[in-house]
A and B are shown apart, each in its own frame.
Chain A
Amino acid sequence: MLEVVGLSKSYGTGAGATHAVAHLEFAVEELEFVGIVGPSGAGKTTLLKCMAGLLEPTSGQTLLRGKPVTAPPPELAVVFQDYSRSLFAWMSVRRNVLLPLTNKPEIADPARVTEEALAAVGLAGFEDHYPWQLSGGMQQRVAIARALAYQPKVLLMDEPFASVDAQTRAELEDLVLRVREQFGVTVVLVTHDIDEAVYMSDRVVVLSRPPSTVQEVVTVNLPRPRDQVETKALPEFAALRAQIYETIMQPRAVQLA
């Protein structure tokens, strides 16, 4: 349903140009959960912005159900890493979730949708709070609720748990796995955390060092529902993370040799 076709993005031109990603090629299936990992500086966020229509690729394109993405389509929502900048600090939790719904005339009852989304992320009762009155983890829940209420077909997440503590992180991972089934949404998750990618994904796209290409696509056949303790204790889990880790480290080893 989401195809990345020969996508390249460079910043600047000529000799001084930085090639962030080069000729990326992969597809995301309907209702699939795809993780994108890569070494730091691998243009993961660049890729995500291109997929979201926030950034124009230098060449190639993203197709959402066959249609090229040139601007953020209404079937797509994004959860950013930095919730404190992504949430509208001057609006209550309710208004934050409600505001984007004016872009969705087909949603008949925005108030109810808002309430359901907030309940799904465990924020019922916090509708009238302001973001600054909430902890970091709760603020990111608001951002997730806002994305869910928008009823997207595709949810793009850019390092969504990188700014919260480890325990909150695990909670939010499980929350996202739960609500994506409840809301029937396809998820693309960019992360630097290999464990997180393996734990959450159906497939993991491994990017190389920049200019990044798709180095490997790893299928994760771990049973669902996943469990923070049991899934991570499986030998298959350890094998997968070792495989991805080695893939990411490989080119450097070759270079050093």
Chain B
Amino acid sequence: MRRLRLGWLGVEVGATALIVAALWLYTNTNESYAVAPLGDVLESFRATWLFDHVGSDAVPSLVRMTLGYAAAIAIGVAGGFLLGSSAVANAIASPVVGFLRSIPAAALLPPAIVLFGIGGGTKVAVIAFVCCWPIMLNTSDGVRELDATLLATARVYGIRGARRLRLVVLPAVAPRIFAGMRTSLSIAILLLVTSEMVASTNGIGYFVFQAQQQFSVDDMWAGVLLLGLLGFTLNLAFGAVERRVLRWNVRDDRSK
């Protein structure tokens, strides 16, 4: 088992190395001005992101995303519980929610700028607004589908009120909340970059856009590389947190 896993790891590392090598070769021989040699991109990456522009661009981006994402989780979970536990609230809200969540995320940027200006708050608000829907819908489904036996058990043993919410209902719905959060995370990164390209004076998205406008192709690619790494890392971190919080949620998966 262990040897097999090591074998797969070897394949992954090997394939990645091959692809990087091919990319290196291709970018070094390509004459187009848009294709920067990989070595130059890495050099630009080092010069820009280790750690010259971290404070001025990377940190503001991360702060905006964290705030927007956190707000989306709070709104989504609270709203999801409301919609999931009240058929009336759900009937009233579901057409509106259905419409709002269908608006393509980037389409909200122009009105948001008119409404709130181009400050950091606008980006936080847009991220929160768009990212809350997947969490809200997943949470409300989870609350609606709460198992009758589980709830009966809580009733029989006098587990009520806040204790019931915290110790029984919330953990039972947690897998659904996490499913929504995972979807929202990708949207959050996407919106962060888009909003920084459209309306910003700093941030990683802004940096990439500026680099393109100034024909600094190395810097542009270096920014894209950073965003890729950022997304990759966030997904890994998310997976680690999810596995830790939901380690009990293995139900039918006994194969491991």
* Chain A residues with a Cβ under 8 A of chain B: 49, 52, 54, 71-72, 74, 76-78, 80, 82, 84-86, 88-91, 99-100, 102-103, 130-132, 146, 150
Contacts and interface: CB of A to CB of B under 8 A. Distances in A.
6 contacts: A89-B249, A90-B174, A91-B248, A100-B157, A103-B159, A130-B248
Nearest to A95: B167
Contacts of B249: 89-90
Contacts of B153: 78, 80, 86
A38 B165 CA distance: 37
Contacts of A78: 152-153, 156
Most buried by B among A52, A76, A77, A90: A90
B251 interface: yes
A49 B151 CA distance: 13
Contacts of B52: none
A52 B156 CA distance: 8
A103 B147 CA distance: 22
Contact of A100 (B152, B158, B172): B158
A72 B248 contact: no
B159 A100 contact: yes
8 residue pairs, one from A and one from B, having the closest CB atoms: A103-B158, A100-B157, A85-B149, A90-B171, A90-B248, A72-B156, A85-B147, A78-B156
B163 interface: yes
Contacts of A72: 155-158
Contacts of A84: 251
Interface in B69-126: none
B11 interface: no
A82 B149 contact: yes
Contacts of A86: 149-150, 152-153
Given A82-B149, A91-B248, 7 more contacts: A52-B156, A54-B152, A77-B157, A88-B150, A90-B172, A90-B249, A99-B157
Nearest to B168: A88
Interface residues of B, number: 20
B172 to A, nearest CB: 8
A85 B150 CA distance: 6
A250 to B, nearest CB: 33
A80 B156 CA distance: 11
A132 B171 contact: no
A102 B163 contact: yes
Contacts of B171: 88-90
Contacts of B159: 99-100, 102-103
Contacts of A52: 156
Nearest to A100: B157
A209 to B, nearest CB: 25
B250 interface: yes
A17 to B, nearest CB: 21
Contacts of A103: 157-159
A196 B171 CA distance: 36
